[in-house]
Amino acid sequence: MKSYKDYTQLILKINGQIRKVIVSPNDTLLHVLREKLGLTGAKPGCENGDCGACTVLMDGKPVKSCIILAVEAEGHEITTIEGLKDTPIQRAFVEESAFQCGYCTPGFIMNCHAMLNTIPDADYDTIKEWLSSNICRCTGYEEIKKAVKKAQKIAGGL
Protein backbone atom coordinates (compact mmCIF):
# COMPACT_ATOMS: atom_id res chain seq x y z
CA MET A 1 0.00 0.00 0.00
CA LYS A 2 1.22 3.44 -0.85
CA SER A 3 1.92 5.58 2.18
CA TYR A 4 1.83 9.36 2.23
CA LYS A 5 3.84 11.52 4.60
CA ASP A 6 3.77 15.30 4.82
CA TYR A 7 2.88 17.29 1.71
CA THR A 8 2.79 15.20 -1.43
CA GLN A 9 2.08 15.76 -5.07
CA LEU A 10 -1.02 13.93 -6.25
CA ILE A 11 -2.19 13.34 -9.78
CA LEU A 12 -5.95 13.43 -9.83
CA LYS A 13 -8.24 12.78 -12.73
CA ILE A 14 -11.09 15.21 -12.44
CA ASN A 15 -13.79 15.74 -15.03
CA GLY A 16 -11.61 13.99 -17.57
CA GLN A 17 -8.61 16.22 -16.96
CA ILE A 18 -5.35 15.44 -15.24
CA ARG A 19 -4.78 17.81 -12.34
CA LYS A 20 -1.59 17.93 -10.29
CA VAL A 21 -1.89 19.20 -6.80
CA ILE A 22 0.12 19.32 -3.60
CA VAL A 23 -1.83 18.02 -0.65
CA SER A 24 -1.36 17.10 2.94
CA PRO A 25 -2.24 13.45 3.58
CA ASN A 26 -5.12 14.45 5.80
CA ASP A 27 -6.70 16.95 3.37
CA THR A 28 -10.19 15.90 2.41
CA LEU A 29 -11.12 15.63 -1.23
CA LEU A 30 -13.68 18.39 -0.65
CA HIS A 31 -11.00 20.71 0.66
CA VAL A 32 -8.68 20.03 -2.25
CA LEU A 33 -11.39 20.44 -4.86
CA ARG A 34 -12.57 23.73 -3.43
CA GLU A 35 -9.48 25.40 -2.08
CA LYS A 36 -6.76 24.08 -4.37
CA LEU A 37 -8.52 23.45 -7.65
CA GLY A 38 -11.16 26.15 -7.57
CA LEU A 39 -13.95 23.62 -8.07
CA THR A 40 -16.37 25.15 -5.61
CA GLY A 41 -19.50 23.44 -6.90
CA ALA A 42 -19.24 20.78 -4.19
CA LYS A 43 -20.36 22.47 -0.98
CA PRO A 44 -19.45 21.98 2.64
CA GLY A 45 -22.67 21.52 4.62
CA CYS A 46 -21.52 19.52 7.61
CA GLU A 47 -18.08 18.04 6.77
CA ASN A 48 -19.25 15.02 8.67
CA GLY A 49 -20.91 12.88 6.02
CA ASP A 50 -24.44 13.82 7.06
CA CYS A 51 -25.86 16.20 4.47
CA GLY A 52 -24.67 15.25 0.99
CA ALA A 53 -23.93 18.81 -0.13
CA CYS A 54 -20.38 17.78 -0.99
CA THR A 55 -21.34 14.79 -3.16
CA VAL A 56 -19.09 14.03 -6.16
CA LEU A 57 -18.69 10.89 -8.22
CA MET A 58 -15.79 8.51 -7.91
CA ASP A 59 -15.77 6.07 -10.82
CA GLY A 60 -19.42 6.93 -11.34
CA LYS A 61 -20.48 6.26 -7.75
CA PRO A 62 -21.61 9.07 -5.48
CA VAL A 63 -19.29 9.74 -2.57
CA LYS A 64 -19.27 12.41 0.09
CA SER A 65 -16.10 14.28 -0.64
CA CYS A 66 -15.91 15.62 2.92
CA ILE A 67 -15.19 12.17 4.30
CA ILE A 68 -12.84 11.00 1.56
CA LEU A 69 -9.21 11.94 1.68
CA ALA A 70 -7.75 13.47 -1.43
CA VAL A 71 -5.06 10.79 -1.41
CA GLU A 72 -7.77 8.14 -1.63
CA ALA A 73 -9.00 9.69 -4.87
CA GLU A 74 -5.76 9.02 -6.70
CA GLY A 75 -6.23 6.52 -9.46
CA HIS A 76 -9.97 7.10 -9.68
CA GLU A 77 -12.10 9.10 -12.05
CA ILE A 78 -13.60 12.01 -10.16
CA THR A 79 -16.59 13.87 -11.54
CA THR A 80 -17.84 17.08 -9.99
CA ILE A 81 -20.82 19.23 -10.88
CA GLU A 82 -18.50 21.30 -13.07
CA GLY A 83 -18.04 18.19 -15.19
CA LEU A 84 -21.73 17.88 -16.05
CA LYS A 85 -23.00 19.85 -19.02
CA ASP A 86 -26.68 20.13 -19.74
CA THR A 87 -27.47 16.63 -18.54
CA PRO A 88 -31.08 15.45 -18.33
CA ILE A 89 -31.11 15.88 -14.57
CA GLN A 90 -29.79 19.44 -14.78
CA ARG A 91 -32.43 20.34 -17.33
CA ALA A 92 -35.11 18.68 -15.25
CA PHE A 93 -34.02 20.56 -12.14
CA VAL A 94 -34.50 23.86 -14.00
CA GLU A 95 -37.81 22.87 -15.53
CA GLU A 96 -39.26 21.59 -12.27
CA SER A 97 -37.86 24.39 -10.06
CA ALA A 98 -36.20 21.73 -7.94
CA PHE A 99 -34.27 24.19 -5.81
CA GLN A 100 -34.59 27.47 -4.02
CA CYS A 101 -31.34 28.68 -2.49
CA GLY A 102 -29.47 26.14 -4.59
CA TYR A 103 -26.89 25.28 -1.97
CA CYS A 104 -27.87 21.62 -1.83
CA THR A 105 -28.34 21.42 -5.59
CA PRO A 106 -24.90 20.32 -6.83
CA GLY A 107 -24.88 17.48 -4.30
CA PHE A 108 -28.39 16.40 -5.21
CA ILE A 109 -27.68 16.57 -8.92
CA MET A 110 -24.53 14.46 -8.61
CA ASN A 111 -26.36 11.85 -6.60
CA CYS A 112 -29.34 11.83 -8.99
CA HIS A 113 -27.05 11.66 -11.99
CA ALA A 114 -25.24 8.62 -10.61
CA MET A 115 -28.54 6.96 -9.74
CA LEU A 116 -29.97 7.57 -13.19
CA ASN A 117 -26.86 6.10 -14.79
CA THR A 118 -26.85 3.10 -12.48
CA ILE A 119 -30.58 2.37 -12.34
CA PRO A 120 -32.22 4.28 -15.18
CA ASP A 121 -35.73 3.19 -14.26
CA ALA A 122 -35.38 3.59 -10.50
CA ASP A 123 -38.75 3.35 -8.78
CA TYR A 124 -39.86 5.58 -5.96
CA ASP A 125 -38.44 3.39 -3.20
CA THR A 126 -35.07 3.29 -4.89
CA ILE A 127 -35.13 7.05 -5.41
CA LYS A 128 -35.94 7.53 -1.74
CA GLU A 129 -33.12 5.27 -0.69
CA TRP A 130 -30.53 6.98 -2.86
CA LEU A 131 -31.57 10.54 -2.16
CA SER A 132 -32.00 10.14 1.57
CA SER A 133 -28.33 10.91 1.95
CA ASN A 134 -28.90 14.52 0.93
CA ILE A 135 -30.63 17.29 2.87
CA CYS A 136 -32.55 20.12 1.26
CA ARG A 137 -33.84 22.60 3.76
CA CYS A 138 -35.66 24.93 1.34
CA THR A 139 -37.92 22.72 -0.72
CA GLY A 140 -40.28 20.07 0.57
CA TYR A 141 -38.51 17.63 -1.82
CA GLU A 142 -41.59 17.59 -4.05
CA GLU A 143 -39.91 19.26 -7.01
CA ILE A 144 -36.79 17.13 -6.63
CA LYS A 145 -38.89 13.98 -6.95
CA LYS A 146 -40.56 15.45 -10.01
CA ALA A 147 -37.21 16.38 -11.54
CA VAL A 148 -35.95 12.82 -11.18
CA LYS A 149 -39.07 11.51 -12.91
CA LYS A 150 -38.66 14.06 -15.67
CA ALA A 151 -34.99 13.26 -16.14
CA GLN A 152 -35.91 9.61 -16.50
CA LYS A 153 -38.23 10.63 -19.31
CA ILE A 154 -35.71 12.92 -20.97
CA ALA A 155 -33.02 10.24 -20.81
CA GLY A 156 -35.48 7.69 -22.14
CA GLY A 157 -36.06 9.97 -25.12
CA LEU A 158 -39.67 10.69 -24.18
Partner 1 sequence: MGSIGISAVRKEAKDKVAGRLKYLNDYNSPDLLYGALKTSTFAHGRIKSIDISEALKMPGVRAVLTGKDLPYRFGIYLGDKPPLAIEKVRYYGEPVAAVVADSQREADEAVEAIKVEYEALEVINSPTEALADSAVLIHENMDEYPHIDAIRPEPGSNIANRTKIRKGNIKEGFEKSHVIVEETFSFPPSDHVAMETRAAVAEILGDGRIVIHSTTQAPFVVKNLMGAYFGVDPGKVTVIAHAIGGGYGGKAGMQLEGLVYLLSKAVGGKKVKLVNTREQDMITSPGHIGLEAKARIGASKEGELMAAELLFMFDSGAYADYAVNISRAAAIGCTGPYRVPNVWCDSLCVYTNHPFATAYRGFGHIELAFVIERTMDILADKLNMDSMELRMKNAICKGDTTPTQSLLDSNTGDLKACIKRTAEMIGWQEGSRVVTEDGKIRAKGFGCLWKAPAMPTNTDAGAIITFNEDGSINVHCGVVEIGQGIKTGFAQIAAEKFGIDVEQVHVIMDVNTSISPHDWATAASRGLMMGGRAILSACEDAISQIKHTASQVLRCPEEDLHVWGGRVFIKEEEHIGLLVKDVALGYVYPDGNAIGGQVIGRGKYISRRLTGIDPDTGKGNPALEWTLGAQAVELELDPTDCSYRIIKAACTMDVGKLINPAMARGQIAGGMAMALSFARQEGFEFNDRGHVINRDLRSYKTLRIGDAPEYLVDYVETPQGDGPYGARGLGEQGVIGIPGALANALSRALGVPFNHLPLTPESLWKKRRDNR
Residues in contact with partner 1 by CB under 8 A are 24, 34-35, 38, 40-51, 53, 80-82, 84, 90, 93-95, 97, 99-106, 109, 127-129, 131-132, 134-145
By a kind-dependent CB cut-off of 5 to 8 A, residue 54 interacts, out of ligand FES, partner 1, none, with ligand FES
Of residues 35 and 75, the one with the C-beta less far from partner 1: 35
User: In this chain, which of 37, 57, 63, 64 binds ligand FES, going by CB under 6 A?
Assistant: 64
Asked if 77 is part of the footprint of ligand FES (rule: CB under 6 A), the reply reads: no
Q: How many residues bind ligand FES (CB under 6 A)?
A: 22
Min CB(158)–partner 1 separation in Å: 20
By a kind-dependent CB cut-off of 5 to 8 A, residue 66 interacts, out of ligand FES, partner 1, none, with ligand FES
Of residues 18 and 146, the one with the C-beta less far from ligand FES: 146
How far is it, in rounded angstroms, from Cα 14 to Cα 79?
Answer: 6
How far is it, in rounded angstroms, from Cα 75 to Cα 60?
Answer: 13
